[in-house]
């Protein structure tokens, strides 16, 4: 507990805004997507499946930007380990991690497209087959892994112990999201197989 009191300012509101933002975004998109699948409310409101997916995708993108902003804002109000923040080696590691994480995120988006990335399967917009080329050839969930690597890189860049704790939190949140999403996605595609 001494580590926390020395390196993490728990009464800093920006820390808790970040904790909430990290948890809220995946909860929001999973609840809305599942509701869409069961009721078609978003595709009905938006005039079609693709329009509904674009609206949800835009909301997810904006929530992700807010989450990233809140993460950076939280780190700026927390203590830093100057030996890490000012280390050329640590900065080099952070840059390499940014490159790796961003590669996973961007190549995932490229492989899946907008509707594949932003839960088009819940709107009935299914991929013709499972994507198995890079980055999916090396990771099952490269977008979540890449985003987590980017958060870790930012924490190293700032030399922020609080950032490391927030990285652990986002990892837990993403693992929960995967546990919720993967069986549901498998179910959606198994329904397609049964109907064909």
pLDDT greater than 60 at residue 3: no
Question: pLDDT for 131-145, tens place per residue?
Answer: 889 999 999 999 999
C-alpha distances in Å from residue 76, one per residue of 30, 83, 141: 30, 16, 29
- pLDDT at position 6 is 82
The pLDDT confidence band at residue 2, using thresholds 50, 70 and 90, is low
- pLDDT at position 151 is 98
For residues 58-63, give the mean pLDDT: 98
- pLDDT at position 152 is 98
Question: pLDDT for 61-114, tens place per residue?
Answer: 999 999 999 999 999 999 999 999 999 999 999 999 999 999 999 999 999 999
The pLDDT confidence band at residue 5, using thresholds 50, 70 and 90, is low
Question: pLDDT for 123-174, tens place per residue?
Answer: 999 988 888 899 999 999 999 999 999 999 999 999 999 999 999 999 999 9
The pLDDT confidence band at residue 186, using thresholds 50, 70 and 90, is confident
């Amino acid at each position: 507990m001494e580590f926390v009191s020395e390196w993490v300012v728990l009464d800093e509101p920006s820390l808790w805004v970040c904790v909430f933002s990290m948890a809220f975004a995946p909860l929001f998109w999973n609840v809305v997507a599942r509701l869409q699948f069961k009721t078609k409310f978003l595709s009905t409101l938006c005039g079609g499946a693709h329009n509904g997916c674009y609206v949800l995708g835009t909301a997810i993108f904006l929530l992700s930007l807010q989450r990233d902003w809140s993460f950076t804002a939280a780190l700026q109000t927390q203590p830093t380990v100057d030996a890490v923040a000012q280390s050329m080696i640590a900065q080099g590691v952070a840059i390499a991690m940014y490159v790796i994480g961003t590669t996973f995120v961007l190549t995932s988006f490229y492989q899946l497209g907008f509707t594949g990335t932003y839960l088009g399967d819940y709107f009935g917009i299914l991929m013709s087959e499972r994507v198995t080329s890079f980055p999916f050839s090396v990771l099952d969930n490269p977008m979540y892994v890449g985003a987590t690597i980017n958060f870790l890189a930012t924490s190293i860049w700032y030399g922020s112990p609080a950032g490391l704790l927030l990285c652990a939190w986002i990892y837990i949140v993403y693992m929960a999201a995967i546990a919720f999403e993967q069986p549901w996605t498998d179910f959606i595609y198994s329904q397609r197989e049964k109907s064909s």
